[in-house]
Amino acid sequence: GQNIDQPTEMTATEGAIVQINCTYQTSGFNGLFWYQQHAGEAPTFLSYNVLDGLEEKGRFSSFLSRSKGYSYLLLKELQMKDSASYLCAVPSPDKLIFGTGTRLQVFP
């Protein structure tokens, strides 16, 4: 079966850096997605990693280690608007299985 774990909540200060971890156990691997979801809105795509390593996209970076079943999302220069839930998801294989989501609160 599939199992995806994320911390439930995190807090950080504006301008800081925060790392949101995701560990997964799947039968087969077809990459890992990160989504951002503001309250009451649909998820928006942030990143898709299929190979090991770090992929940087502006203030957001995503890392994957397939051998460890581990990924993280790195948010730099935090802004108040980054307060949201961050969901990691893995294909399984023809649908997405979502983690519990990490609610990030950014304080001034």
20, amino acid identity? I
30 binds another protein (CB under 8 A): yes
Q: What is the Cα–Cα distance from 17 to 76, expressed in whole angstroms?
A: 4
Nearer to another protein, 40 or 53 (CB): 40
> CA nearest 88: which of 76, 65, 107, 70?
70
40 binds another protein (CB under 8 A): yes
99 binds another protein (CB under 8 A): yes
Q: Under rule CB under 8 A, which residues in 47-86 are in contact with another protein?
A: none
1 binds another protein (CB under 8 A): no
38, amino acid identity? H
Q: Which residues bind another protein (CB under 8 A)?
A: 30-31, 33, 40-44, 87, 91, 93-101, 103
